[in-house]
Structure 1
Amino acid sequence: MHFMRRSHEILRIGLASASLGTIGYPVVNGVITGSLLLSFLLPSEVKRHDDIDSVTGLLNLKAYKKNMNEVVIREINLPNNHKRIFIASIDILEFSEINKNMGYTIGRRVLRGVSRIIKQQSKCLASARPYGDIFLLTYAADSVEDVMQDLHSIIEKSESMKDPLGFSLSLCSGISELQIANEEGVEVDIISSAITQAEIARLIGKRGATKINCYKSEYASKQLEKIKMEDALLKSIDNHEISVFYQPKLTATTREIIGFEALCRWYHKELGFISPAFFIPLSEETGFIHRLGRHVIEESCKTLKWLEKNGHRNISFAVNVSIAQLEHLDGKPLISHIRNMIQEYEITPSLLEIEITESMAAKDFNLIKQHVNTLRELGVVVSLDDFGTGESTLYRLKELNLNQLKIDKAFVDDVCNERGKEVMQGIFTIAKAMNLTTVAEGVENAKQAEILEEMGCTYLQGYHLGKPMPKEHVLDAIKINKGA
């Protein structure tokens, strides 16, 4: 068997072609093709299989770092060579969704497809798959533009891969330059730092929908902490850090629990509980909101089904959706996911409530109207959340095919004074005229609950009536409420 060196010198390696073929290297006429780090090493330096990623045939992170110094030394000591060394980090976007929706077999096929393009067509010196859907590439180039050109080619070819299942890929990458002080090579810490910089550049570019982004010195001081938080957030579901808590919703007259609102909680193993006021906007900024939203909907459907199996068949679950979810690809992925969850968990559609905010309806009324109609056709209940804080007109409220109004806490806070009562009564009059049920959220004391009941509010929700709780406490809360 032969390896082709970058200098076109052929080295004979005493390895069976079958063994290399089984771990993913393309073998053509007895010659291993592609840009492989192994192809730049002498026979005595060929690594064992434990240096190789078994899925793609690329190096793993340990081997990549260990052999990087030797590759760099060889490159910078070539005669008349003034090339600079760059590291690129490539990410397959939404890869976890491919694994989840299409299975790990398809996921591995995608990884092999991208790695095959890297090995066969890239001009990089070395390539590795350190973890998940991340690839690392080492380049010797005259300028960063040369590296960007090669990455453009990899991304374009990867995104144009055809698959019989019809899914499409999207990739992004970040670039850093390896700082070389002398001809004796670089230390492992310097290599690790360059890898981190490439990943930071990739993450910042990903946030801005940039396919290829180069590391800048200002990232270190201005963006590193936020990037770490973004990276932690993107891994939070896989790391089982995101949980769904449920806050009870009760009838105003009998104070019976008839449903729950699903609320996200993030507990980071090092940082502790992180406020939704921080991570929800960050999720929208990074695009993670789509996966997070799907996760909450599925967990709510699971819990709903679990309650049915425990004899509680009429408990509803409300889930908030954001404008970003409804605008993404015209809302088709979200609507499709809701439909699939109803079918998969065999739940009664009317027990699932989708909450949209009044400000969302005001921002893109026609889009929201279309989605409300589609959700109603599925049998799902649709609520207008934070009512009274947006810019809805009575005409628009009438045009939306809603089931329910959720009255913002700001109005509930004022319900104990005369002016507040008058405003609240006006809201109930409008709701009754439009045949809408009402939910007062943020009820914090018995006096508020009593007044709202007297005024004809349908449902109450707030800390006075029940705090958000994990799934494990939901069944006990229902039993206690019913006096069982």
Structure 2
Amino acid sequence: MLDVYNQTADHPISYAVGYDISCKNHYYLIMDLLEIADQKMYQDKRYKKEQMAKKPQEFCRNRLAESISTESLKEKLFTILNNSNGEKKYAFLMTDVSNFHLINDYWGYETGTNILNFILKKMELFPQTLFVNRYHSDIFVAVIDITGAEHTAVKKRIIESNKQTTKEVLAAYPVNYLSLNTGIYYLENMKIPGEEIISHSNIVRIKAKDKLCGVCEYTREIALAEQKRADTIHSFKEALGKKEFQIYFQPKISGRKQKIASAEILVRWQRANGDLWFPDSFLPILEETGEIEALDYYVYETAFQWLADRREKGLKLLPLSLNVSPVHFRKIHTFTEKVSHLIQKYEIPSQYLIFEITESTYIHNIEAVNHMIRFFHEKNIRISMDDFGSGYSSLNTLKDILFDEVKIDKKFLSDKLTENGKIVLQEIFHLLKRTNKFIVCEGVETKEMVDFLVAEGCDELQGYYYYKPMEMAKFEQLIG
């Protein structure tokens, strides 16, 4: 309790302790025990007085500033907003130090503590500051009065202040690098709960790490994105149970015959309110939470059911390409067991299945991916490397990959094909053909692209020039 008090006290308080023990092997009468304990207490008192006399200011300076609890912070925010009467405008700031743990690890905790205390003092000097506290670890919170100021001006002042603080820290301490990140939440709604203010500010503090200036404001766009994120996380399981996820088919065209040869299975989220969500809006969130596993198995089973139903009706079957999310490589055996079970359950012939694994997933999980490929090869199922050339591929990759098919990333076909672009694609095709890889190109959008790719021996083409992804019923009408 005294340590906490002394962090902000003008006159620190010290305490002294003395004790001894009376036991069977070292017995004292009670008066002797009290006297010895009293002597030790005075020895401790003298020592601490001497230490304080030697370093009167370091007693406070070398101790990390007290952190404020979330409950206390919420109380402060409520008091400020409750007393503003709408006449004042405030901004809540949350600031941290990038990779602060590296400072502690390399320069020691004393240096780290001194730097944090220095930053706190600098933040207290920021104009129109109502209060500043260390929140936890290397995170600080503050409320500033911005009455009459434009948001752009407020942001500019914070950026300049962070730069100046960083400059002074680098000059005063042995560290070679320091970066501050600040999230800004404008307190325009005086009735917003404190926990929401803290949560929103924390979101933009994290986003600030990706900003060149190190500062990020909470905007309506960010608010909508976070609402959608929360909606995705909390409604996914119920939506999966209600089968709100629909599989879509995007045909792939034979380069030689110019007819539909296969299709890639994609997914859309048909919300109960009528909204249709595209993969980019929910797949990254599900990948982050791990729920993508359940969605993948749902998509596989739906696709397998479609093949099984058509086989029973004697209708035309086409090979289907199915995407494998990176999260499955953490649980290879679980994945292979579930896929095996589904294949056996629906009695799917192996020639109608192609599993797609992205190039980046392969590069970061080579051993696990190769293990999965061998599993599929044992079942005579083809494996495709998706997004080939998206930024990771190299000649060394081509040399060792076990994939049966390579799907050229659509970036190669973006805009107009230049002569240099054609040369690069020709050489890639040449290498892939010599290593017996089946070649698929996605993102095909013009007749010029089609003519070039067909002439170069592309096995299958996929893109808006031919077809966009379509619902099951429409795809069935298309293939008959």
TM-score (norm 2): 0.51
| Cα distance, 1:350 vs structure 2 | 2.3
SS at match of 2:239: coil
364-373 or 451-460, which moves further after superposition? Answer: 364-373
State the AA in 1 paired with 2:363: A
**2:369 counterpart of 1:368:** yes
Unaligned runs of 5+ in 2: 1-192, 200-222
Q: How does 1:39-438 map to 2 (within 5 A)?
A: 226-270=229-273, 272-312=275-315, 314-327=317-330, 329=331, 331-413=332-414, 416-438=417-439
Task: State the distance in 1 between where 2:358 and 2:225 align.
Answer: 33
- Taking a change above 3 Å as real, the CA distance of residues 224 and 448 of structure 1, as seen in their structure-2 partners, is closer
Give % identity. Answer: 30
Deviations 1:98-133 (A, max 9, x none): xxxxxxxxxxxxxxxxxxxxxxxxxxxxxxxxxxxx
State the AA in 1 paired with 2:229: K
Q: Retained in 2: the 8 A contact 1:409–1:442?
A: yes
Task: State the distance in 2 between where 1:238 and 1:272 align.
Answer: 18
Task: State the distance in 1 between where 2:314 and 2:395 align.
Answer: 40
| Cα distance, 1:318 vs structure 2 | 0.3
SS at match of 1:443: coil
- Taking a change above 3 Å as real, the CA distance of residues 367 and 268 of structure 1, as seen in their structure-2 partners, is same
- Taking a change above 3 Å as real, the CA distance of residues 310 and 467 of structure 1, as seen in their structure-2 partners, is farther
Q: Which residue of 2 aligns with 1:457?
A: 458
| Cα distance, 1:314 vs structure 2 | 4.9
Q: Retained in 2: the 8 A contact 1:415–1:424?
A: no
SS at match of 2:240: coil
| Cα distance, 1:414 vs structure 2 | 5.4
Q: Retained in 1: the 8 A contact 2:316–2:479?
A: no
Q: Which protein shows a greater Rg? A: 2
SS at match of 1:435: coil
Deviations 1:232-281 (A, max 9, x none): 22322112211000110110121111111000101212371123112000
Q: Retained in 1: the 8 A contact 2:304–2:348?
A: yes
| Cα distance, 1:428 vs structure 2 | 0.7
SS at match of 1:335: helix
Q: Which residue of 2 aligns with 1:212?
A: none
State the AA in 2 paired with 1:429: H
Q: Which residue of 2 aligns with 1:23?
A: none
| Cα distance, 1:470 vs structure 2 | 1.6
State the AA in 1 paired with 2:460: Y
346-355 or 267-276, which moves further after superposition? Answer: 267-276
Task: State the distance in 1 between where 2:385 and 2:270 align.
Answer: 29
Q: Retained in 1: the 8 A contact 2:229–2:285?
A: no
Q: Retained in 2: the 8 A contact 1:384–1:402?
A: yes
Q: How many correspondences in the alignment?
A: 262
| Cα distance, 1:458 vs structure 2 | 0.4
State the AA in 1 paired with 2:256: T
| Cα distance, 1:460 vs structure 2 | 0.6
Q: Which residue of 2 aligns with 1:469?
A: 470
Q: Retained in 2: the 8 A contact 1:445–1:464?
A: yes
- Taking a change above 3 Å as real, the CA distance of residues 270 and 241 of structure 1, as seen in their structure-2 partners, is same
State the AA in 1 paired with 2:310: L
- Taking a change above 3 Å as real, the CA distance of residues 456 and 283 of structure 1, as seen in their structure-2 partners, is same
Task: State the distance in 2 between where 1:221 and 1:304 align.
Answer: 39
Deviations 1:141-200 (A, max 9, x none): xxxxxxxxxxxxxxxxxxxxxxxxxxxxxxxxxxxxxxxxxxxxxxxxxxxx9xxx9xx9
Q: Retained in 2: the 8 A contact 1:415–1:451?
A: no
Task: State the distance in 1 between where 2:467 and 2:281 align.
Answer: 24
Q: Retained in 2: the 8 A contact 1:409–1:443?
A: yes
- Taking a change above 3 Å as real, the CA distance of residues 283 and 222 of structure 1, as seen in their structure-2 partners, is closer
SS at match of 1:237: helix
TM-score (norm 1): 0.51
Unaligned runs of 5+ in 1: 1-192, 201-219, 480-484
State the AA in 2 paired with 1:324: V
Q: Which residue of 2 aligns with 1:60?
A: none
Task: State the distance in 2 between where 1:256 and 1:403 align.
Answer: 21
Deviations 1:63-91 (A, max 9, x none): xxxxxxxxxxxxxxxxxxxxxxxxxxxxx
- Taking a change above 3 Å as real, the CA distance of residues 429 and 342 of structure 1, as seen in their structure-2 partners, is same
| Cα distance, 1:390 vs structure 2 | 3.4
SS at match of 1:334: helix
Considering only aligned residues, what root-mean-square deviation do their CA atoms show, in Å?
2.6
